[in-house]
Amino acid sequence: MTVLFMFLDGVGLGVNDPLINPFAAAELPNLQKLLGGEKMLAATARYDGPGASLLALDACLGVSGLPQSATGQAVLLTGRNVPAEIGYHYGPKPDKSTAAHLQDGGIFGELTRSGKAAALVNAYPPGYFQGIESGRRIFSSIPLAVTKAGLPLFTLDDLLNGRAISADFTSAGWSERMNMPEVPVMQLAVAGASLASLARKYDFAFFEYWLTDYAGHGQDMPEALHLLEQFDVVLGGLIEAWNPADLLLITSDHGNLEDLSTRRHTANPVPLLLVGSPDLRAHFDDVTDLSGVAPAILKTIL
C-alpha cells in the first residue's frame, strides 16, 4: 500500500467569490468530480463521498500571526505544533529553532527507521545543489527533513531516467527556462500518470508543488487560473492511473492562493483532500489541524 502526499504550497479554503478566489472562478472538472460536483471552497468541507473526502485543517495552531511556510511544513512533517513550541510562525526557510525539529527527518526518518521505503520524488536541477554547497541558499523544511533522514534528493539524472518528476509536472521549466533541451517535456495527463507510477515504488511518496504560493503572492489571477487548470489535468491523469488500494493525500501549509485580494498569507483553513477507500480515509477522521496529518499517515502505513 502506498501513500502519496501531494503538497500544494499556499493553498487555503476560501469564499465563493470568483473575483478574489481562483478556486471559485476556475472550472476544474477532475477535482470537482471527486467532490461530487462542488468546488474546493470553505463551504464544501466537510465532504465525504464514495471515493474522496475533503476536510478543513487549522493552520494557525493557536499561535498569533499568519501561518508561514517553514513552520507549517515542519508541522506537517513531524506532527508537532512547531509554532507553539518555538512561540511564532516562521518562513519561508527554517530558522535554527524550526530546523531543530527536523533533525530526525520527521515522517521520512520515522518511516525509514521502520523499514519502509520513503522518498521525495521531486527532481532538483544542478544549480540548486550548487547553491546549497556554496552556502548561497539553504534547504527549505521539506528537503531538510529528507536529507536528515539519510535519503537522497533526486537530480537531473533521476529526472531523465524516470526516477523523479519536476516541480512543474511537465519539465517545461527545465527544458525552456533553464535551457536544458535534453529534458523531454511531458503532457500534463501523462505527468499525472507518471507520478502515480513513481509513487507505487514506495510506501510513502511526497511531491512538492510551490508555484501556487508564488501566484498567490503575486495576486496574479490569470496565472492562478492557468496553474489550477494545469493541476486539474495532472490530477485527472493521476486518478485514472491510481490504484484504489492506495491513498492520495493533498494538503498545504497555509492559505494564500485562495484570496488574491492580499499578497500576504491568510488565516484560512487549508484543505485536506483524501482519495482512497473509506477505510483508509477513516484514519484521518479526527484530524482538525496540521499537526494531525503525520500521525494519521504513520497509522495508515505502519
Per domain, the residue ranges of the chain are 3-200+214-268
Task: Return the C-alpha cell found at 54.
Answer: 475533503
Q: List, in sequence order, every beta strand (DSSP E) within 150-269.
A: 204-209, 247-251
For the segment(s) 3-200+214-268, the CATH number from 3.40.720, 1.20.1460, 2.40.128, 1.10.3470 is: 3.40.720
Question: In which element (H, E) is residue 144 found?
Answer: helix 141-148
Mean pLDDT by 10 residues, the chain (302 residues): 98 98 98 98 98 98 98 98 98 98 98 98 96 96 98 98 97 91 95 98 98 96 97 98 97 98 98 98 98 98 98
pLDDT at 134: 96
Residue 228: helix, strand or coil by DSSP? helix
CA distance 147 to 157: 18
pLDDT at 261: 98
CB proximity list for 58: less than 8 A, separation 6 or greater: 269, 288, 289, 290
pLDDT at 177: 86
- Please work out, in degrees rounded to the nearest 5, the angle formed at the alpha carbon of residue 76 by the alpha carbons of 75 and 79: 60
The dihedral sign for the CA sequence 195, 252, 144, 104: negative
> 46 preceded by cis ω (within 30°)?
yes
Q: Are 188 and 230 in contact (CB under 8 A)?
A: yes
pLDDT at 161: 96
CA distance 294 to 297: 5
